[in-house]
Structure 1
Amino acid sequence: MVWLYKQEGPHEKNVNFDGRACTLFNKDNMMPNLPNVPLNTAGANLDTDTQVSSIPRADRNENWRYPSPMQFYNALVLKKKTNKQEAQYIKEAVRAHNAVNEKSWEKIKSWEDMHRECERPELRRFVGRYNDRTLKSYFVSLFSRCGKEIRYIIDYYDDPRITDDLQVHIDARPALDSFGNIIDRIRRLFYRH
């Protein structure tokens, strides 16, 4: 799961979960805006601190924030993708999540290096498509290059041959949905950074 947390933002309707209201949907990250309080007893002792990422936001002069372990666990609870016994591993899951996001950002920046006229690429929004069955499972991110939206596809694969502790192969590239992105894919074959 790839998820960056936005502290405040556009909301749709609220949903009540176990006596607590939380925003059902945030258009910036396609995730619920979750309270930073436990939704069940297993998450009661999880850390509530969020971390600032290195990824600049397109709509304001700040960086995106990663979810706290509490928020990360709450997201899994709401999606019914965890159980109470797994709460003890959430801190490490968040650490891995944040590291994968940072590595993904580095991959995106390596593509954006071909556009030096834009000094600071920014993340506008992102959409996880982890439940879709495609040739490659992907994560769609919309970045801003000098105010223009550029869509990237990011695939993640488990790869035990990778020597770091994450063992995740990250394949990030511009989506083939514009002439400029097609040209970038061709240019990349000859580009040296």
Structure 2
Amino acid sequence: MRTALAALAFAAATGGANDRAYAWDDCEAIALRDVPAMEAPDAILAKGELDGGITQYRINKATKRAVFCSHGGHCYPTHLTVKGETVEALRLTNCKIGPKSNDQDDEETYYPVDIIREKFTPGQLRRYDSEDTLARIGLCSACVGDVASQYLDKPTSRCGLLVESAFEGDPKAKAALQSPPNACQKQ
């Protein structure tokens, strides 16, 4: 598919293709036992339940406690203490922990999660590559999904052609995508 190749070419040219920007939609962790959320102990992730939308792995610098955090959800500890032993509580199913993030604070060390490409369908990968490339171009996070959908669903539409041009390196197309109104805004 030409559109996916253009997205990959742009990502490669800009240092991309690291699978990070928009992996949160489908990164999941499975609960290996009942796990209470860090900020809301009554929010229990039951054994066998999947926690979707995982965006980060964080380690508290003082306590060394590690958590997986979800986009729009909770942070759950990766390990729990049961009868004096530390046991794994959550395990990523389709993603992996990425390299240490540049975004840090005094209390926690942050790591993104990266998709494991082999665990996703070609259609999902086209979407991720397109969304990642649009994010690298500088689209707002709220715009990326909508523009990628228009591009992938209707590649010959005005929006699809604008995105294709941007992916191929056209600076005017990139600028147009970054500055509404443009062909990808829903009227």
TM-score of the two chains, using structure 1 as the length reference: 0.26
Instruction: Give the TM-score of the pair, scaled to structure 2.
Output: 0.27
**Looking at CA atoms only, which structure, 1 or 2, has the larger radius of gyration?**
2
Larger RCO (alpha carbons 8 Å, 6+ apart): 2
